[in-house]
Amino acid sequence: MEKHDFIIIGGGIIGITTALELQAAGYGVLVVDRGGAGSGCSYGNAGHIAAEHIFPLATPALLRALPGLLLQPNGPVSLKWRYLIKLMPWLVRFLLAARPSQVARSTEAIASLNVGAIAAYESLDRRFGLDGLLKRDGTLVAYASTKGLEGAAREKEALANFCIESELMDQKALGQFDPALNPALKGGLYFPHSAHIKDPYALTQTLKAHFLALGGRVEEADITHIEHRAKCTTVYSTDKVWRADKVVIAAGAHSHLLARQLGYKIPLETERGYHLDIPRPSVSPRVPTTFFEKRFVATPMRHTQMAVLRLAGRVEFGGLNAKMTLKQALALLPLGQDLLPELGGDDRHTRATETVTLSPQRATPDGVTPWMGFRPTLPDSLPVMGKAPKHDRIYFCFGHQHLGLTQAAISARLMLGITTGFDAGIDVNPFRPDRF
């Protein structure tokens, strides 16, 4: 039976970056993923290295807005009502996480990760090469209302307390910065030092290729259970068995199922996130742009050699098993046209949605491609990173909510420290698995 120094369960961007860091430290690493490396949220995210996103999801302001958001037809947040009973325990924890004291703690913890997020990616780029996928030209939040712009001014001040630089733009300055945006927008908040990934799926595949070239292994299998013994840990799939000195569970939204099998009740919930890819768009924003009032993101990307505009940002609570709600993804197109008026005028995009495939690997080049994936979210918006409390050689690294891509490289360095005993320079206490 094979034995490895480490087995990483999960081949998304979190798992692959962690595997690379462990491998670079001299360990033999096997990555096991249920659907192929990079095929989940690591494929479908908005592409932002959003270091400025330091505030948790649960805040008093969001709780006040949530009923209205849920009642909007095809709104930014939706709920499959049959799932409500199952969701209730998580919702209670989410409500408690919105207390000001907890918001402050979560903000400090998120900021402690995000402050090194871009530098960690630049380190990966220097050591392995990211093939030009990392682009540092900033990100923008656009506002359609004076009230929203006033809120942006307050956010600018709050972020300055964490040394996050931003530039507030009025209507004229926003139009000069990006003439493609709707001229009716009132202004924007620009983050000049943020970055994005031009093709998130290609990023994971590039890092995977480096990992394989340096002697790592990746297996596609569905892990059924983990057996922890005195001298080794055994990992079982439906048809294979592996042994390792240590195991890291980094399986995204499926991680809590493996944790439960080991006796841990981690309150992880699934945010079903949607995006819509528009190939060869007639117009794209200058930089990744969030439309504040409409609560979605427009990111210019490239798939192979083709320009793509990705519209992302819907949240649906409905668990891991319900089918995709196609209208959630398709509703992003008119929102994109609100942000970018010239995106309209060619009904090719609308017609193509009737026949488009839902597989990201087989998207038709002439039509838009809807997609849905699972974001793993904890009530306090902090990931679980650390040693399993009752198992000496099992570690958790999951629950990064909307910041999985942002925090992947820095989390990998933190996990290297946690699993091998050196100080990574970040307080790990806020992320410990037994905090709930």
Per-residue pLDDT reduced to its tens digit, 49-83: 999 999 999 999 999 988 888 888 878 999 998 99
Q: Are residues 367 and 302 in the same domain?
A: yes
The number of beta carbons lying within 10 Å of the beta carbon of residue 380 is: 27
Q: Are residues 205 and 69 in the same domain?
A: no
Taking the CA atoms of 283, 289, 293 and 294 in sequence, report the sign of the dihedral they define.
positive
* Higher per-residue confidence, 357 vs 285: 285
Q: Are residues 279 and 369 in the same domain?
A: yes
Domain annotation covers residue 182 = no
Rounded to 5°, angle at Cα 300 from 17 and 18: 5
Per-residue pLDDT reduced to its tens digit, 127-170: 999 999 999 999 999 999 999 999 999 999 999 999 999 999 99
H or E element: which one contains 333? helix 332-339
H or E element: which one contains 107? helix 100-114
Going from the C-alpha of 99 to that of each of 57, 63, 151, 213, the distances in angstroms are: 12, 11, 20, 48
Per-residue pLDDT reduced to its tens digit, 84-136: 999 999 999 999 999 999 999 999 999 999 999 999 999 999 999 999 999 99
Round to whole Å and give the CA distance between 381 and 108: 12
Domain annotation covers residue 71 = yes
Domain annotation covers residue 55 = no
Domain annotation covers residue 129 = no
Round to whole Å and give the CA distance between 342 and 181: 9
Final residue in a domain of this structure, among 335, 360, 377: 377
Cα 426 → chain centroid:
20
pTM of the full structure: 0.93
* Higher per-residue confidence, 60 vs 348: 60
Q: Are residues 385 and 264 in the same domain?
A: yes
Domain annotation covers residue 345 = yes
Assigned token pair, 111: 């900021």
Q: What is the residue range of 311's domain? A: 60-97+269-377
Say what the pLDDT of residue 73 is: 81
Q: Are residues 225 and 316 in the same domain?
A: no
In the predicted structure, residue 354 carries a pLDDT above the cut 50: no
Domain annotation covers residue 132 = no
Final residue in a domain of this structure, among 335, 361, 377: 377
Assigned token pair, 414: 């933190």
DSSP string, 135-200: E-S-EEEEESSHHHHHHHHHHHHHHHTTT---EEEEHHHHHHH-TTS-TT--EEEEETT-EEES-H
Domain annotation covers residue 346 = yes
Assigned token pair, 137: 């030209």
Q: Are residues 262 and 286 in the same domain?
A: no
Per-residue pLDDT reduced to its tens digit, 225-243: 999 987 889 999 988 999 9
Say what the pLDDT of residue 69 is: 87
Q: Are residues 253 and 353 in the same domain?
A: no
First to last CA, the chain: 36
Is residue 86 within 8 A of residue 318, CB to CB? The reply is no
In the predicted structure, residue 358 carries a pLDDT above the cut 80: no
Final residue in a domain of this structure, among 357, 377, 397: 377
Assign 347 a pLDDT band (cuts: 50, 70, 90): very low
Torsion angle, alpha carbons of 268, 418, 427, 135, to 10: -80
Round to whole Å and give the CA distance between 378 and 90: 8
Going from the C-alpha of 359 to that of each of 165, 205, 299, 315, 372, the distances in angstroms are: 38, 17, 20, 20, 10
Assign 352 a pLDDT band (cuts: 50, 70, 90): very low
Amino acid at 309: L
Q: Are residues 279 and 370 in the same domain?
A: yes
Q: Are residues 279 and 308 in the same domain?
A: yes
Say what the pLDDT of residue 37 is: 80
As a whole number, mean pLDDT of residues 335-361 equals 57
Domain annotation covers residue 169 = no
Q: Are residues 257 and 384 in the same domain?
A: yes
The number of beta carbons lying within 10 Å of the beta carbon of residue 372 is: 20
Arithmetic mean of pLDDT over the chain: 92
Which domain CATH number covers 259? 3.50.50.60
Q: Are residues 273 and 367 in the same domain?
A: yes
Q: Considering the chain, what percentage of its residues have pLDDT values greater than 90? A: 83
Q: Are residues 277 and 365 in the same domain?
A: yes
Is residue 313 within 8 A of residue 329, CB to CB? The reply is no
Assign 171 a pLDDT band (cuts: 50, 70, 90): very high
In the predicted structure, residue 349 carries a pLDDT above the cut 70: no
CA proximity to 139, closest of 292, 346, 318, 319: 292
As a whole number, mean pLDDT of residues 311-333 equals 92
Assigned token pair, 122: 């630049």
| Burial (Cβ within 10 Å: 0-12, 13-18, ≥19) of residue 353 | middle
Q: Tell which phi-psi region holds residue 271, choosing left (phi > 0), alpha (psi between -120 and 50) or beta.
A: beta
As a whole number, mean pLDDT of residues 407-430 equals 94
Which domain CATH number covers 68? 3.30.9
Is residue 10 within 8 A of residue 198, CB to CB? The reply is no
- For residue 269, the cross-strand partners are 377
Estimate the crossing angle of helix 13-24 against helix 404-420, to 10 degrees.
40
Number of domains in the chain: 2
Going from the C-alpha of 393 to that of each of 15, 160, 226, the distances in angstroms are: 17, 40, 11
